[in-house]
Structure 1
Amino acid sequence: MKFKPLVASLAAVGLLAVAVGPAHAVVKYRFQDDNIDFVYNPATGALKTTGTLAVGDVLVSVFEIDSFTKNLVNGIAPGQELTGVAAIQIKSIDGAMYAFGAYAGGVEAFVPAGRTDAAKPYAGTSAVGMWFNGTGGGGGDRNLILDAAALPATNCTSFADCTDQASLGTLFQLDGFGLDPDEFWGAVSFPGGGSIDTVKAASESVPFAFFNGLISNFYQLDAVVEFQNLIGGYCPGGSYAADGCGQVQFSGNILGGAGLTNGAIAHSDLDGSKYVVPEPGSLALLGLGLVGLFGMRRRQA
């Protein structure tokens, strides 16, 4: 009586293998992260830790992906973490509406030299980089803790330390601006959201802005990135044209920064996704993951 569910599970994996022909090998990657956010002033070359947000300021986020799945299967191996750095510049402020775009130096301006070399050469300007790295402390690579509920101050001690820790390891993806007219990154600010001092003093439970965006992929370690719309729907005919489709979709909230002592002024969180066509090796691993998932469910039943 237990044989039939197992056959069904294996058949499902088989169907996946059949379905992943060149035109249909689509897997949805989903990300959820914990961030801390810095404000960098290019005019002074220093962090801005007081005053008001202004056009030209660069928002630099250091983040850890606490949940990364491939078609709902965990994508982070034991002993590993997926971390990253994002850098965007305020291009305009219209009341509560903020529009962001590429900073001329990209992510590379804020991480040690060579961390994005795997993606070069690439067109456009980078805005988000992610790296897989270890958590055991080898080579100074700590398990980065950015969850405000777990450790409000985090365990990186300065802007340089945080960006260094978040960009160690193997480059997993690099995303940004300059390939697609559908790209954008915008935010709506809530009362107090434009004041660095107000945000920095408030609890991480207090929201100060909502943001969302759609940007392009420059480099992906294990797959070819497809297109989707702003609400996360797959665009099978998507392209680098004005078609309402981009490659990386995300949204999130800027939260109070109380407890931070490393130069960051806010916590934030983000949910994002992309559709990819995995490389053959990655597809095989996904199939094994699904077999394990089906098997676990069968045992639980």
Structure 2
Amino acid sequence: MKAIGSLVVSMFLATLSANALAAPITVTGDTCGAPDRTATFSDATTCIYEDGTNFNNEGDIDGLFPGDSWTYAGELTGAGSDSFFTIDVISGSFGSSPVNGEWAIADSFWDTYSEAVVSMHVGQGGGAPDAWAWELASNATSGTWSYQVNSGTGGGLSNIKLFGRGTPVTVPEPGSLALLGLGLVCLIGMAKRKA
């Protein structure tokens, strides 16, 4: 009877532990993960990770970072570039672990959006988590990233995606401000002459 009670308690604790990983976990900063797998993405202000998911589309990102809707802006499944996003691999390779490299976001991205999220997905297997999402600092254009399996099986790096939202706030260029100021001085001068 004591053995059965011990088994029930063990099963309860295992279920509790598994359920703890089922909900997204938010971390301040650029490094996050569970004991099985960790990942980093520099210049991030917030990291959210979860097991058994992919953070595959705009709806997934909307749920993690509420507010205005997010827009899919690119995806890489290996080293390379698309319209806004570049991923370089310094050591290791996609589909394996450990792997690390550098990332870059084109200035034109920040001309289009005011916020950015990058997600990373790895192959599901005997470990957790399976997906990460980082909210980047505003106007971040480059940095480093990494992924590592610490224990368990599976979990090769699958893809890294970029999402954007919001409209950038445009600040007038100094030349435009000078021209506006000159125009105001001329108008004031003309008004004084007439008076």
The answer, yes or no, to whether TM exceeds 0.5 is no
Q: What is the TM-score of this pair, normalised by structure 2?
A: 0.31
Which of the two has higher C-alpha Rg? 2
Q: What is the TM-score of this pair, normalised by structure 1?
A: 0.22
